[in-house]
């Protein structure tokens, strides 16, 4: 099955990326290589892009081959990470400015060892996934708005956040990479699973949507919320795989 092969390949590639980087992650400096990006280097060393930029006094996302970057967290950043593990109430309060902020750099990525966002769900995983499609479909043609999280306008991660929180899954506002990290690959997707793509407007994981069945997904495209086909000329070469939020795998 083509979709299954894509999903397995994506999982293997992601695991290889982490494994090969363990030795470098223990050092204080990292030398930029061809093909590197701030996102790739930050993920390798369990940093956010913002943390990496602050540690190296970077004012843009541009890096050069052979450039040396500090990648070891100082104690004050570790303390910042602990503060980010506050309660859901505090997290949601702190995210009220999300609409004015880039959806790809503001939010702290969630690594796999972090605790799930939600321990008890009022709905079953199946009910939430069915509800997610029901919430998503009426939002077709909603305009694209960078960092948008309301029916007035969405970006791709803001659309998924809005849909799932209204479908019954309480979660903080995450960027696309963090959603990918906080989900697990599925070989046989069902409506309500996530679909991820890479190398769209930037390198690495950069776009996501919600699977609606028959090889199609609903997402906040470049102009509006729309339904696209995974095997279309544009998307098929950028397809990474299907995943399901980790919280949904913990319940029936």
**Residue 157 confidence (pLDDT) above 60:** yes
Active site annotation includes 184: no
Range among 64-78, 84-98, 182-196 with highest mean pLDDT value: 182-196
Is residue 134's pLDDT more than 50? yes
Residue 148 has pLDDT above 80, yes or no: yes
Taking residues 179-194, report their average pLDDT: 94
Note if 156 is an active site residue.
Answer: yes
Encode pLDDT of 12-36 as tens digits. Answer: 444 444 344 443 333 478 888 887 8
Residue 154 · residue 220 · CB < 8 Å: yes
Average confidence score pLDDT of the chain: 75
Q: Which of 28-32, 41-45, 173-177 ranks highest by mean pLDDT? A: 173-177
The DSSP string of 30-97 is EE--TT--HHHHHHHTT--HHHHHHHTT-SSS---TT-EEE-SPPHHHHHHHHHTT--HHHHHHHTTT
Q: Which of 156, 194, 208, 218 is catalytic?
A: 156
pLDDT digits (tens, 9 = 90+) for 73-107: 654 334 434 444 443 444 344 434 333 333 333 33
In sequence order, the 6+-apart residues with CB closer than 8 A to the CB of 224 are: 140, 141, 142, 143, 144
Rounded to a whole number of angstroms, the CA Rg of the chain reads 18
- The one catalytic residue in 53, 99, 108, 207 is 207
Name the catalytic one among 3, 73, 219, 244: 219
Show the CA angle centred on residue 42, arms to residues 19 and 81, nearest 5°: 105
Active site annotation includes 207: yes
CA torsion through residues 199, 13, 214, 249, sign? negative
Nearest in space to 157 (alpha carbons), one of 186, 128, 194 = 194
């Amino acid at each position: 099955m083509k979709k299954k092969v894509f999903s397995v390949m994506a999982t293997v590639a992601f695991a290889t990326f982490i494994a090969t980087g363990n030795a470098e992650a223990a050092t204080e400096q990292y030398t930029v290589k061809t093909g590197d990006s701030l996102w790739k280097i930050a993920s390798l060393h369990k940093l956010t892009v913002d943390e990496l930029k602050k540690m190296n006094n970077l004012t843009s996302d541009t890096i050069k081959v052979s450039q040396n970057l500090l990648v070891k967290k100082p104690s004050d950043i570790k303390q910042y990470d602990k503060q980010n593990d506050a309660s859901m109430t505090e997290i949601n309060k702190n995210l009220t400015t999300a609409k004015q902020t880039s959806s790809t750099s503001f939010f702290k990525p969630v690594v796999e060892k972090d605790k799930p966002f939600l321990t008890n769900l009022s709905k079953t995983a199946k009910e939430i996934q069915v509800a997610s499609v029901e919430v998503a479909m009426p939002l077709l043609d909603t305009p694209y708005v960078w960092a948008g999280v309301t029916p007035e306008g969405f970006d791709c991660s803001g659309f998924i956040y809005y849909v799932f929180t209204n479908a019954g899954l309480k979660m903080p506002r995450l960027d696309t990479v963090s959603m990918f990290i906080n989900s697990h690959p599925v070989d046989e997707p069902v409506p309500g699973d996530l679909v991820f793509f890479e190398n769209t407007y930037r390198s690495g994981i950069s776009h996501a949507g919600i699977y609606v069945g028959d090889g199609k997904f609903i997402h906040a495209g470049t102009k509006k919320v729309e339904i696209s086909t995974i095997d279309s000329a544009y998307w098929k070469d950028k397809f990474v795989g299907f995943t399901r939020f980790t919280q949904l795998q913990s319940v029936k």
